[in-house]
Amino acid sequence: MKLRDKVEYLWYKYNFTPRRDLGQNFLIDSHIVEKIVDTIKPDKKDTILEIGAGTGVLTEKLVKKGGKVIAVEIDKNLGEALKKEFKEYLNLKIICGDITQISFDEEFKQAKSVKLVGNLPYYIASLILLDMIKKDWVKFMVVMVQREVAEKLLAKPGNKKRGRLTVLMNYYGQGEKIIDIPPQAFTPPSKVGATLLKIEKRERCKLKDENNFFSVVKAAFSLRRKMITNSLSKELGINKDSIKEKLESIGIDWRKRAEDLTEEEFISISNNLGVKNAH
Ligand code: SAM
């Protein structure tokens, strides 16, 4: 049976209507599903966490590879349908719930190598990416995100698409584009294209204070058209001249704008610029 027929049969069987507010655009392109599986390289020894199992097209492929799969789905109708459809797979645990409200820190305390996968709901994609990349137990992430988010994540210094998310994510991980996915690969078709990314964890040890780093990055991008001396001064409440002096002393051009700075430069600014009440 074609993937589209399989997905739509499931809707019919469980009297299901896709919800736009939950980002429910389901994959129906088997080549893309294969590509995701190839990128994850599932192994019998693996633990895989899937975010937003949906109609289970990816879940089933992963579970058949033999490792342990934990699939989270917020939509109770879908979650219950998947529990029935996949009841024979003993290596699958389906959790009906909101991924942003579930902590796996205790469950994965001993695990250092959970592979995270998801065709991420657009409305929480950035939140999930930033939250998950920091987890010690995550080995890598293979995620589908809106094209615009992918471009933001991969934007190099000097690119206007660079933003707070780019710098913070790049501190924790290194993203790689695997493939672009057209709207027709989903049912109902998505409004915009998506991109499949693999994000590997990075070694990180250069920051003196993570909160300080967050505050500096946030401040720099809050007035993104201005020179960083101005945005940092205004947002952090630090005298402009002392910022200028500090930037010069660490070899950073104070006239640059946030989007022109490298991650290394942000780290250097954060390590050298004390911020009151960093949050
Ligand atoms: N993985 C499936 C696929 O590729 O066909 C579904 C992808 S669909 C883009 C996103 C899925 O995430 C939907 O099934 C939606 O119900 C689910 N979802 C949305 N918000 C969620 C949340 N906060 N926690 C868990 N799942 C969520």
Nearest to 149 by CA among 199, 81, 78: 199
pLDDT of residue 108: 92
User: In this predicted structure, what is the pLDDT of residue 256?
Assistant: 96
State in Å: Cα 270 to ligand 1 middle.
Answer: 36
Ligand 1: residue whose CA is nearest its atom 20: 22
Task: Quote the DSSP letter at residue 188.
Answer: S
- CATH 3.40.50.150 for domain 3-201, yes or no, is yes
pTM of the model: 0.94
CATH topology of domain 210-272: Helicase, Ruva Protein; domain 3 (1.10.8)
List, in order, residues 6 or more apart from 277 with CB less than 8 Å away: none
Residue 269 amino acid letter: I
Phi then psi for 196, rounded to 5 degrees?
-90, 125
Residue 194 and residue 95: Cα distance in Å, rounded?
25
- How confident is the model at residue 192, as a pLDDT? 93
CA 181, 184, 188 angle in degrees (round to 5)?
120
Count Cβ atoms below 10 Å from residue 245 Cβ, excluding itself: 12
Structure tokens at 127: 């939140």
Region of 47 on the Ramachandran plot (φ > 0 left; ψ -120 to 50 alpha; else beta): beta
* Residue 278 CB burial class (10 angstroms; 0-12, 13-18, ≥19): middle
**Blockwise average pLDDT, block size 10, the chain, 279 residues:** 92 95 96 97 95 98 95 97 97 98 92 92 95 95 97 97 96 96 96 96 85 94 92 93 94 96 95 68
Q: What is the pLDDT of residue 275?
A: 63
Return the pLDDT at 278: 47
Q: Does residue 202 contact residue 151 with C-beta atoms inside 8 Å?
A: no
63 lines ligand 1 (CB under 6 A): no
What does the pLDDT read at residue 276? 56
The 8-class DSSP code of residue 22 comes to: G
Is any atom of ligand 1 closer than 6 Å to the C-beta of 82? Answer: no
Distance CA 168, CA 263 (A): 8
CA of 52 to the centre of ligand 1 (A): 3
CA of 162 to the centre of ligand 1 (A): 26
What are the start-end ranges of the E strands in the chain? 26-27, 47-51, 68-73, 92-96, 114-119, 138-146, 173-181, 186-187, 194-201
CA gap 52, 257 in Å, rounded: 37
For Cα atoms 269, 216, 240, give the angle at the middle one, nearest 5 degrees: 75
Give residue limits of the domains in the chain: 3-201, 210-272
Cis peptide leading into residue 183 (ω within 30°): no
Which atom belonging to ligand 1 lies closest to the Cα atom of 33? 4
CB-count burial class (<10 Å; 0-12, 13-18, 19+) for 111: middle
Helix (H, G, I), strand (E, B) or coil at 68: strand
54 lines ligand 1 (CB under 6 A): yes
| Residue that has been written with the tokens 């809050």 in this structure | 222
* Angstrom distance (rounded) from CA 36 to CA 115: 12
What whole-number distance in Å separates Cα of residue 84 and Cα of residue 86? 6
